[in-house]
Structure 1
Amino acid sequence: MTETLDLISSLFLPIAGKNLLLPNVSIAEVIDYQIPNKQEQAADWYLGSVSWRGQQLPVMSYELANQDATKDRGENPRIIVINTIGPHNSQLPFFAIVTQNIPRLVKVDENSITEDVDEPQGPIEKMRVTIHGETASIPNLELMESMLFQELQQHQSY
């Protein structure tokens, strides 16, 4: 009997100095970069909102929220629309992050990924991994959603 390995279609999302790794199902859409409408007195990681499918979509800088000191948008930035999964998803069904370039498809199975325990994690990273010889960070989407929800509630913009 042959054993079948489950492959998970995922994306490498290029951000400053590393990649984020997310399963395809967590991403609603990849859209062209547009400058977010910044909210006054907001946290530095909250970039503002952009228009998407007739609604205002809050945009987060992953790098700044993770305390990586950069605001560089890169050569070919994109906005990644993420489906929310946490307790606030009925009020905040989507949020977005900015990447520095176009995401790349990667297939993940249990034999191709290992946890990288030598690298320290940032506050919104769930895990650092090596996959197919490349390092990546798996973000804590529920924490990111919660941070954005609290920020939006504080400024009553949602």
Structure 2
Amino acid sequence: MLEQPARHNRRSSLTGLLLPLSDRCLVLPNVAVAELIGFQAGSPVLASPEWLLGWIDWRGQRLPLLSFESACGGQLQVGERARIVVLNALGSSPLRFVALLVQGIPRSCKLDSQLNYVDVPLAALEMAAVQVGEQVARVPDLPALEQLLVNAGVV
């Protein structure tokens, strides 16, 4: 009985991942990421938006590979440290996974309920900006990202 109040006073936290992009850093709970894989060029899609880099094969499935920066109106960049993060789909689309181009290896971080929000301009696919250690990270709107794929006729 005495332990219960101590549990309620404890800050809730979860493990997050900082995903390095070419022009920003995204932050997600680690449960949103299914796997980090090496970069592979996607098989092309005719008449597709610039942000859709094609299709990749992952564990016997075809996944759309996209550039978050390009989907937000930025420049597409594939650096020498490029990797692919396979995200678990969250929305109501038929997608189960989405492949996202990143520019390095994600770093683990602790996120607690006392996140400090940062007032910076946000792109259409960003929900918020938060301070994570010394870095400002953007919280992506994953359901909107999935909807972007649906609207583009990818699924």
| Contact 2:117-2:129 at 8 Å conserved across structures | yes
The separation in 1 between residues aligned to 2:106 and 2:80, in whole angstroms, is: 13
Deviation at 1:9, TM superposition (A): 0.5
- Measured against aligned partners, the alpha-carbon deviations of 1:17-76 in whole angstroms (never above 9, x if no partner) come to 2210000111111111100111011011111110001011101110000112x2222231
TM-superposed CA distance for 1:152, in Å, is: 3.4
Instruction: Give the aligned partner of residue 31 of structure 2.
Output: 25
Partner of 1:104: 107
* Separation in structure 1 between the aligned mates of residue 43 and residue 91 of structure 2, nearest angstrom: 25
Structure 1 runs of 4+ aligned residues shifted over 6 Å read none
Letter in 1 for 2:128: M
SS of corresponding position for 2:122: coil
Q: Unaligned stretches of 5+ in structure 2?
A: none
RMSD: 1.3
C-alpha separation between the residues in 2 aligned to 1:18 and 1:75?
A: 17
The normalised TM-score by structure 2 is 0.91
- Kindly, what percent of the aligned residue pairs are identical? 32
Q: What is the TM-score when the length of structure 1 is the normalising length? A: 0.89
Q: What amino acid is the match of 1:100?
A: Q
Determine whether 1:81 maps to 2:86.
yes
Aligned to 1:38: 44
Q: Is the 8 A contact 1:36 1:50 kept in 2?
A: yes
Higher-Rg member (1/2): 2
SS at match of 1:20: strand
Partner of 2:12: 6
Q: How many residues align?
A: 149
